[in-house]
Each structure stands twice: as structure tokens, then as C-alpha cells.
Chain A
Amino acid sequence: MRFSRILAHRMRSLLGRSRVEADLQREIDLHIEQLTKEYVDAGMTQAQARSAARREFGPLDLTTEQCRDTRRVNLLEDLFKDLAHTFRLLARAPGFTLTALLSLALGIGANTIVFSVFNALLLKPLPIAEPERVYSVNRSRDPSNSFPNYREIRDRNVVFESLFAYRIAQMALDNNATASRVWGYLVTGNYFPALGIQPALGRFIGPADDAHVNASPYAVLSYSCWRNRFGGAPDIAGKDVRINGRLYTVLGVAPRGFHGTEVFYWAEIWVPMMMQAQIETNPWLDNPYDFNAWMAGRLKPGISAAQAAANLQTIAVQLARERSINEGMRLTLTQPGLVGSAMREPARAFAGGIMLLAVLVLLAACANLAALLTARTLDRERDLAIRVSIGAGRSRLVRQLLTESLTLSILGGAAGCALAVLLLRLLSQWRAPLEFPVQFDVNPDWRVFLFAFSAAAVTGILFGVGPAHRAWQADPAPGLKGIAAHTSGRRWLVRDLLLPLQVALCCTLVISSLVAVFGLMRSFRTPLGFVPDGAAVAGYDVGLAGYDQTRGREFEQRVLQEVARLPGVESAAYSSSVPLSIDQSTTVAYPEDTTDFRPKNAYSVTYYQVSPGYFHTARTRLLAGREFTPQDGPHAPRVAIVNQEFARRVVGTADAVGRRFRGGAENLVEIVGVVEDGKCQTLTETPCLALFRPMLQDYSSTVVVAARSARPESELAADMRQTIARLDPHLAVYGLGGLRQMLGLVYLPMRAAVITLGAFGLLALMLSITGIYGLSAYTVSRRSREIGIRMAIGARPAQVLRFVFGRIAALVSAGAAAGLALGIAAAGVLAAIVYQATSRDPLVIGGAALAIALVAIVAAFGPARRALRVDPVQSLRHD
């Protein structure tokens, strides 16, 4: 009530300012009139009385000003005045304004984008009800556990309201026309109830739908699956779809924006866990040795994570006692969404590192603007001095200057934010060119906007404080005399540090990006142990289509024959998987003389089943021995081809042809060939041990067909798809395309790092250009009189340039030297992400130095030309 009146009164004061002033005037007039009347009554003449009244009343202006002050509208009024003044100033110097806005927009935009990614990965909770009560249950670093263990933990714990299990699974989904491989989840019946979300259509899988092993044929579709694969049919709930050749009933559609319980794996379909054996080919629900089920759950209200962890640990100890496979099991809780803690740590490190770089860019922008603004304030010293001398309060001046810098930063921040929102929208729609549905929603939410606003405000204050500090100390006398303009002398000031600081930051970023780019280039040339270019691949799993081993083998033979006959195909082969793809299997191998088959004597080896001609097709060099032939069949002796590393480590000699190793006590295998070393799982791994076995001796239902030809890979891949579709139209074909393309996942972190660093490097370069340009242009315009005098008394152009730019060059060089050192140190950190990144590359250091030199020359070119064109007569007449 009172506040509304106060507010109304203040608004009236502010808006009806002239009326309020007039009121006050009338009130005072009346008062003076009465005083006058009293004096007249006391016997004075009208004129005497009037002046006596005036005298008694005191200084009129002071009173009215005091009244105005009490009205408290001044803060607001001043703000409007300051803003108007600011806009006038900014409009008067469009070059400065644009430079400032551009650097701010870039700096804040970059930060907003990076923060959005950080937010999407680590801050934004899953789109479920009360996400703070949902936790992943990790066995070691990831949440995988055996299904029998899951059952025990689910039944014994007293802390979870609901504990569910889920499993990433691929399946062949047939919508009556074509079969396609889709990625989804196997989930226990309590999965959806625990998450507390509402379906967009129909209903979710409930406990009753997950009750019968192999007899719970139900499915829930994701929103986008429903829209894209079923045309958004409104009557989808209750319809049957074919999954892996069997009929499943669609129960409902998940809400838009819900993609499952992992942040960047976007599932399309959910199927009850009890259908596991039909979805995947190997049943593991009752197997305590297969750790395939991921576990998470919703805590009971009021139970803390620490209490829950304690309870889980008790159960872990019990389970370890009951089953030896569980020995040493530790159960811990983490936030869900990033494979327990397995990816949370790397994601945090990566996003945090990039965030740090982004902040560096923003700091560089700050330093840049602070330098420019300080320079401008020097120019305005006289203006400020005049204002101080006619009675402006210091705080008032500081307020004006801070208004200016904040206006700039908020405007720049808004522009940067708009830019970021656009780019983020694109990024959210982008799907990594991978077989695996990696995608994440980086669209900004309130956290991002709050961050952008705070970044802008902090930036504005940071770069506004320097000039404001000067204004605070402003002494009107020298400013008015025009002396201040020439005292910048030889003293080193804090503001002199701004330019080298910025150049150093820029240098660091440029080196980092160069290191990353060179590393990526090198990693593209690194020997992989096969030649991906020129090979097209297609994958399928006949197990998903219900083939048994005999039919599967027949089918694989026919596919191979047909593919080999395609036009232009030089060679073709198939294998269980290709190195560096996401699907890698490992097994163990023992030296031939092993008698103790405990795990400590075993070598873990990456394991492939391949057809005859595989090495020829993959262009893996055979160093000794022979390739597999059709004679290496099920009844022939067990043979294998190994890589050099395997030969050296397991057999003990590189000359391993004819020697034997064991896959187990009863499993003796002869080595018939040795191939070159290559990469198996990642590009940065230590040399891996690779074991190849003939597919004819060791069946795999998952197959990748590879064909090498001179034709474009995508064209050949399309032909291969047609060929397979002709042989079985219901078989889901995946992983279709060039082999190089299929390796996307291993290159993804590196590509991301290179793109980000490249962008930051460019940003930093642009900021450096504006920074150096700003300071040079300012120096030239400020010292044009001095330049004029020097030229008038006969200075040569080179002398003028040395005189004008000597100091700037020294500052830039100092910054560059510091930046180079810092960059080389920082690049060491990068080596962990970008394969073969090294900062000891002379190319990198030379490149960075060259880049900075070029930037400096480009930036200083305009001002230098202006300096040389200074007309002595004009410049001396000026001011």
C-alpha cells in the first residue's frame, strides 16, 4: 500500500517533472508573497518588503535543488542522462563502437556456446521428475553389473524407492517396408515408473509388461522414431511392429525431448528386459559372469547419497562372499547420464579445459577493450576536468564511465548471445556422422542466459574499472591546461600491461590451435594397420534376422560372391568387425607352454573373425606366412594370423609362423601368418595385440562386408546395400559407406578439439588485430602534433615509424614471447586429447610467431600510413 503510493509518487515526479517543478515554484512564491505581506504590514515599501522576504527565504535555487534531491528521482534521471550521453558518444565514434561491440560479441558469444555445451553435458539434469533423487549405481567406474547381481541388489537394498536396469541394444525394426537397424534400450519394468515421466501417447512399459521371459513382446517408441519412421500415426499405440523378425506391440510413445537415461545416446525404442535373448543373440539374464546390465534407481525421499552408498556397500560385501566373481566389488553412486562416472570425468575435463580457453578469450577481449577505453578516457581528460571543476561529483563521473562500459558490454553481450543461440540451434540438430546415435541437446536454457548476462556484466565492469579509476583521480588543473595530454612519457603504467597480456593470451591460443591442427593432420597419416580409403563397407547381423549358423554361413558366402561381382570391385572380404569401429571384441591368449590358466598369465587380445582375402582387401601387410584360404574350414587344423605385437609378446619372437599359442587349456592354435601392427580400439592406444581367426572355423553372426575398388565409396556402398537387399529384403543393413567414414567416432574428440581450438585461435587473432590497431591508431592521432614537428624538422619516415611504433612493438614482442612460452606449456596438456600433438614442432612455434608478426603488421598498417601522411602544418594548427 505504502509502497504503491511511493512508487506512484515517484513515477509522477519522474514523468510529470515539469508539473512538479511548477508546483514547487508556486508553493515557494506563495510563501514569499506572505512574507512580503508581513513586511509591508510592518511598514516597509513593497520593494523593500520583497527583497527582505527574499533574503529571509534564502537561496531559492538551493532549496529547489534540495527538494529535487529528496524526490530521489535523480538516480533514474541520471541513468537516463548517462545513457543518452553514452549513446551520443558511441555514435560519434562508430569505428571504436564497432570494434568494441565486435570483440565483445565474439568473446561473449564464444563463452556462451562453450558454457551451453558444458551445461548440456554436466549441469542440465535429465528430463525426468525430481532428477536429484535418481542415481547411477557404479560397479567400478561404470554402472554395468550382472543381471543376477541386479536382482539381488534390487531386493536387498533398503534405500531405493525403485532400482532399475537398462542396457543399450541395437535391433532390426521392420515397418513393413524396409528393415533398419535402430538403437534402443532393454529396460526392466520399473524403468519408466521410476523416472516419473508421462508418455506422449499410449502408455509406457510397466512391471506387468516385463514379467515373462521371452514372452513380453512390447515396445515404446521415442518421439522422433514415431514421427520419422511411422509418420506420426496417431493410432500407433496397440499396433504391431516387427523387431528382429518377431511381432511386438507398441504400447506408447515417449515424450518429446526424452531420449533415455544417457545424455548423448538418443534411443529410439524401449523393449522389456525379459526379451533380452530375442533382441541380442546371447542370453545373459541368468549369467553371473556377464556384466551387461546398467543399474540406476530413484532414492527414497529423505535418503542421502551417502546413506545409500553405505547400504550398497554392505550388499556388495555380501555378494562378494556369495559369488567369487564379485570379489572386490565396490558399489558407488554418481549422477546418471554419462555412463555412471566413466564419461563424467573425461567430459568434465574436456568441457572444463575448453571453458578455460573460452574465458581466456574473454579476458583477451577485456584487455583489448580496457586498453581502448583507457586511451579514450585520456582523450576525455579535459572534458572530465571541466566537469569536475564546475562541480560534478567524482562518483557521478565514475558512474558515467561505468554506464558507458556496461552499455557496451551488455549490447555486445546481447549480440554475442544472439549469435550463440543461432549456432547452438544448428549444433543441436547436428548428428555426429556415426553409426551410434550420438547427439545432445545444447540449446540454451536459463542457466546459459544467466551466464551470458553475468559474463557481459563482469566484462563491462572489468574493462570499465581502469578508466573509472583514472576519472576518480582526475585532477582538473593539468587537464584544463592541456598538460595531461603530454605526460604519458616514459613511465610504465598498468595499462601498458594490457596489450602484452592480450597478445600473450592470443599467442597461447594460436599455438594450441596449431598444435591441434598439426596433430590431426599427422594422425590422419598415422599407420592404422589397414588402408581405409578406397574401401566401402556394409554391416549386418544375420542373428537378428533369425538365421542359424548353417543358413548364416551360406548367406555370407552368397553376399560375398555377389559383392565381388559388382562392377569395379578389385577384392572383397568379410570380417566380424573392422578395427577402430565401435564394435570390438577381446579374448585371452596364453603362450603354448602355459599350464596355469589363471587370469594373471593371460594376454588380453583384440579378436576378429575374418574371411579369406581379408588382409588383401583391408591392405594390411602380410609380413610372413599366408592368408586364410577356403581350406581353413571347420574340420581343418585350428589356425590364426596374429600381428607383430602379438607374436613378440605371446610367442616371444617376431618369427612366429608355425608356432602355436593357446586360447585355453584345450584350445591350441597354430599361427600361419604375421601381419603388421595397427590400431585396434583407439588412435592413442599403446600397440595392441591383434588375433585373427578364420570365420569358417569360428562363426560370427555379425558381419562387415568390405570391398575395395576405384569407384567412389558411397556409390559402391549403395550397390552393396542393393545386393544384400536382393538376397534378403528384411535384413537390416547398417554401417554403410566408406571405411574412413566409419572411423568417425575415433576421430570425433580430436575433430571437436581442433574445431574449437581453431575457432578460438581465430578469435584470438581477430582480437589481437583490433587491440593492436586500436592502440596504434590512438597513438598516431594523439601524437600527430609531435609527428608533425618531427617531420617539420626533417625526420625521415623510418625514424617517425620507429618513434611512434617502437613502444608498441616492444609491448607486442614481450607479449608474444610470454605467450609462446605459455603456449608451449599448454600444448603439453593437449597431447592427451589430440593424438600426436606436440609443441616441440618448429613448424608450430614458427607458425605462431609468423601469425603474430603478420597480425601486428596488418593491424599497424593503417595507422602507420596515417602517421606518414601527417601534414606538419595541419597538425600544428590543430587544437
Chain B
Amino acid sequence: MPKPSDLLQGTLDLLILRIIAKEPLHGWGIARRIQMLSGDVLAVGQGSLYPALHRLEQQGWISAEWKDSDLGRSAKFYVLTREGKKQLERELKSWDRLSSAVQLVIESA
């Protein structure tokens, strides 16, 4: 199995927001979901996941509450706030712009 790629700086926030936009999820779940959905290509370093979650909470884009979880005990579930939804849209747009720009450069070079 190839070593999972490092996440591009700044894309972690986007991924977190995108994942919990579907349903509230805890930290462990978010990490697993990212790895799974990316076909094991992307691995979230745990060292950066939790600071990122805290940062997003600071910004007011996500909020958290303790709930019973599928893990057999209560976990901290993160949920997108209204501002978080807007932020997600903004980030998606800018990601689109970025990736298409990168694509353009690669194709035309």
C-alpha cells in the first residue's frame, strides 16, 4: 500500500466541512471517512485533525456536542452551523477555481 499523500495545505478544512455537511460526526469518524472516501489515498494526520476541528469551532463554522455514538460510548459530534454552510460553499468554489486552474496549467504546458 502506497504511503497516503499529505493533505494539501488548507484543504483539510474543506474536507471536514464537506463531510459533516452530510451528518454530524465525531473526530474519529471524520478521519476514517476521509481515508475511506479517498480510497486510502488521503490520510489525516491525527496531529492536525484536532487542531483543525478546534480552529473551525473557534471560527464559528462548526459546533459540537456530546452524544451517544456507534462506538459504544459518548463522543463529541461536530455539526455544521449556518455560517459553516456558507463557508463550505465559498471553499468549494475556490477549490473549483484552484483545481481547474491547476488542470489548465498542466494541460496547456
- C-alpha spacing A31/B28, complex, angstroms: 5
Report if A34-B51 is in contact (Cβ < 8 Å); known contacts: A6-B60, A23-B76.
no
User: Does B54 make an interface contact (CB < 8 A)?
Assistant: yes
Q: State in angstroms the CA–CA spacing of A63 and B44 once bound together.
A: 13
In the complex, what distance in Å separates the CA atom of A71 from the CA atom of B27?
17
Given contacts A6-B58, A28-B50, contact A58 B45 (CB under 8 A): yes
Scan A45-81; emit 1 where CB is below 8 A from any B CB, else 0.
Answer: 0000000000011110011001101111000000000
Instruction: Tell me whether A31 and B51 are in contact (CB under 8 A).
Output: no
Contacts of B28 in A (CB 8 A): 30-31, 34
Q: Is B96 an interface residue (CB 8 A)?
A: no
A26 CB–B CB distance under 8 Å: yes
Q: Which residues of B contact A62 (CB under 8 A)?
A: 47
Q: Which of A23, A26, A30, A69 contacts B51 (CB 8 A)?
A: A69
With A6-B60, A26-B76 already in contact, the answer to whether A58 and B46 are too (CB < 8 A) is: yes
Residue among A10, A31, A72 with most chain B CB within 10 A: A31
Complex CA–CA separation, A2 to B63 (angstroms): 11
Within 8 A of A (CB), among B58-109: 58-60, 63, 66, 71, 73, 75-76, 81, 83
Chain B residues near A56 (CB-CB < 8 A): 46
Known interface pairs A34-B71, A57-B46, A58-B45; A63-B58 also in contact (CB < 8 Å): no
- Which residues of the partner chain B approach A877 to less than 8 Å between Cβ atoms? none
Q: Mark interface residues in A272-294 (1 if CB within 8 Å of B CB, else 0).
A: 00000000000000000000000
Docked Cα-Cα span, A26 to B58, in Å, equals: 19
B10 to chain A, nearest CB (A): 15
Is the beta-carbon distance between A63 and B81 smaller than 8 angstroms?
Answer: no
Determine how close the nearest CB of chain A comes to the CB of B18; give it in whole angstroms: 20
Chain A residues touching B, range: 20 to 34
Q: How far is the CB of A461 from chain B (nearest CB, A)?
A: 30
- Interface readout for A1-29 with B: 1 if CB under 8 Å, 0 if not? 11101100110000000000001101110
Chain B nearest Cβ from A322, distance in angstroms: 75
List chain B residues, Cβ under 8 A from A72. 58
Please pick, from A3, A10, A57, A69, the residue contacting B47 in the complex, using a CB distance under 8 A.
A57
**Complex Cα spacing A63 to B71, Å:** 23
CB distance from A870 to the nearest CB of B (A): 56
**SS class, residues of chain B in contact with chain A:** helix
How far is B59's CA from A739's CA once the two chains are assembled, in angstroms? 78
Question: Given A9-B60, A71-B54, A72-B58, are A63 and B73 also a contact pair (CB < 8 Å)?
Answer: no
Given contacts A34-B71, A71-B58, contact A27 B50 (CB under 8 A): yes
Q: How far is the CA of A5 from the CA of B57 in the complex (A)?
A: 10
Q: Report B42 CB to chain A, min CB distance, Å.
A: 15
Residues in B neighbouring A67, C-beta threshold 8 A:
50-51, 54
Q: Which residue of A lies closest to B61 (CB)?
A: A2
Contact between chains at B27 and A27 (CB < 8 Å): yes
Q: Do A24 and B58 form a contact, CB below 8 Å, given A31-B28, A34-B28?
A: no
CA distance A163 to B106 in the complex (A): 79
Q: Which residues from A are CB-within-8-Å of B57?
A: 9
The interface residues of chain A lying within 8 Å CB-to-CB of B55 are: 70
B73 nearest in chain A by CB position: A30
B residues near A5, Cβ cutoff 8 Å: 60, 63, 81
User: Closest approach, in angstroms, between the C-beta of A232 and any C-beta of chain B?
Assistant: 59
CA distance A245 to B60 in the complex (A): 80
A34 vs B73: C-alpha distance when bound (angstroms): 11
User: Contact between B58 and A10 (Cβ–Cβ < 8 Å)?
Assistant: yes
| A63 with B60: CB separation less than 8 A | no
User: Once bound together, how far apart are the Cα atoms of A248 and B101, in whole Å?
Assistant: 91
How far, in whole Å, are A56 and B45 apart by their CA atoms in the complex?
8
Are B54 and A30 interface neighbours, CB within 8 A? no
| Nearest CB in chain B to that of A65: its residue | B51
- Tell me whether B50 and A63 are in contact (CB under 8 A): yes
27 A-B residue pairings within 8 Å (CB atoms): A2-B60, A2-B83, A6-B60, A9-B57, A9-B58, A9-B60, A23-B76, A24-B54, A26-B76, A30-B28, A30-B71, A30-B73, A31-B31, A34-B28, A34-B71, A57-B46, A57-B47, A58-B45, A63-B47, A63-B50, A63-B51, A66-B51, A67-B50, A67-B54, A69-B51, A70-B51, A71-B58
4 closest A-B pairs by beta carbon, nearest first, are A66-B51, A70-B55, A58-B47, A70-B54
Given contacts A9-B57, A69-B51, 14 further A-B contacts (CB under 8 A): A2-B60, A9-B60, A10-B58, A30-B28, A30-B71, A30-B75, A31-B27, A31-B28, A34-B28, A56-B46, A58-B47, A66-B47, A66-B50, A72-B58
